[in-house]
């Protein structure tokens, strides 16, 4: 019985690491790709991410399941930089919380609102 108690903390750590790996595997969307959708700079992206994180917190959603910083090593440039990774949900949540002057943001918001209203009727 003592042997089981000795390995129990290790098993818990292994299971937690496995759970983290599963969550990380769902974070396959690079938020840097939002530049393709008219996000003009780091400040605009940071503001949209901040809003998305606030929405998740308000709704009681675990932000770790939808957003994470990862560190990337560029050996050619000899530097390390970080970028946001997100789940599909997180990616679109950031997109719809971008600058309202951005036509992609406005189009997504309009489509979501149309869908929402049509489901009410």
Residue 61: per-residue pLDDT: 94
For 44, residues 6+ apart whose C-beta sits below 8 A from its C-beta are 98, 99
Rg (CA), the chain: 19
CB atoms within 10 A of CB 73: 9
Q: pLDDT value at position 11?
A: 63
Q: Which two tokens stand for residue 53?
A: 């994180």
* Non-local CB neighbours of 2 within 8 Å, separated by 6+ positions: none
Quick one: tokens of 106? 């406005």
Average pLDDT, the chain: 85
Strands (E), the chain: 29-30, 67-74, 79-86
Pairing of strands 79-86, 29-30: antiparallel
pLDDT of 18 reads 56
Q: Give the tens place of pLDDT for each residue, 52-97.
A: 999 999 999 999 999 998 888 888 989 998 889 999 999 999 999 9
């Amino acid at each position: 019985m003592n042997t089981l108690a000795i390995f129990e903390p290790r098993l818990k750590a292994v299971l937690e690491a496995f759970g983290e790996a599963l969550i990380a595997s769902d974070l396959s969307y690079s938020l840097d790709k939002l530049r393709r959708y008219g996000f003009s700079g780091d400040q605009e992206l940071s503001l949209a991410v901040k809003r998305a994180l606030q929405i998740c917190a308000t709704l009681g959603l675990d932000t770790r399941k939808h957003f994470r910083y990862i560190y990337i090593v560029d050996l050619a440039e000899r530097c390390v930089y970080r970028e946001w990774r997100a789940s599909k949900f997180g990616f679109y949540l950031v997109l719809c919380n971008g600058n309202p002057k951005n036509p992609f943001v406005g189009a997504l918001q309009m489509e979501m609102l149309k869908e929402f209203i049509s489901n009410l009727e």
